[in-house]
Amino acid sequence: MVAISGTASADLAASGVRPDYSARAAQETARVERQAAERQTEERRETVQETSRQEEQRESRKIPGLGNAVDITA
């Protein structure tokens, strides 16, 4: 049985493919890290928005007959 890796064309192809695979892996890793960072940023932004909405809701409430009331609870 003849090994394919012993031929000149297979040796040239293998040496050209390895850097390509490592470059693709590095790009994929960078892409995944960027997506994770974007996701975390979006989650933080949503948390800040939700917190500010809750604070606005807590600070100013309309009470029938009294108008706007301020919540002094912590």
- In total, how many domains does the chain have? 1
Name which residue leads in pLDDT, 27 or 74. 27
Residue 20, pLDDT score: 80
Site of tokens 């293998």: 14
- Cβ proximity of 39 and 47 under 8 Å: no
pLDDT of residue 15: 63
What confidence tens digit (pLDDT) does each residue in 56-70 have? 776 666 666 666 666
Other CB atoms within a 10 A radius of the CB of residue 59 amount to 12
Return the SS3 of 65: coil
Q: Is residue 2 part of a domain?
A: no
Residue appearing with tokens 């470059």: 23
One-letter amino acid at 38 equals E
Rounded to 5 degrees, what are φ and ψ at 62? -90, 125
Structural domain harbouring 26: 9-70
Query: pLDDT per residue over 21-55, tens digit each?
Result: 888 999 999 999 999 999 999 999 999 999 888 87
Q: What is the pLDDT of residues 12-28, one digit of tens each?
A: 566 666 778 888 999 99
The verdict on residue 3 lying in a domain is: no
- The more confident residue out of 29 and 71 is 29
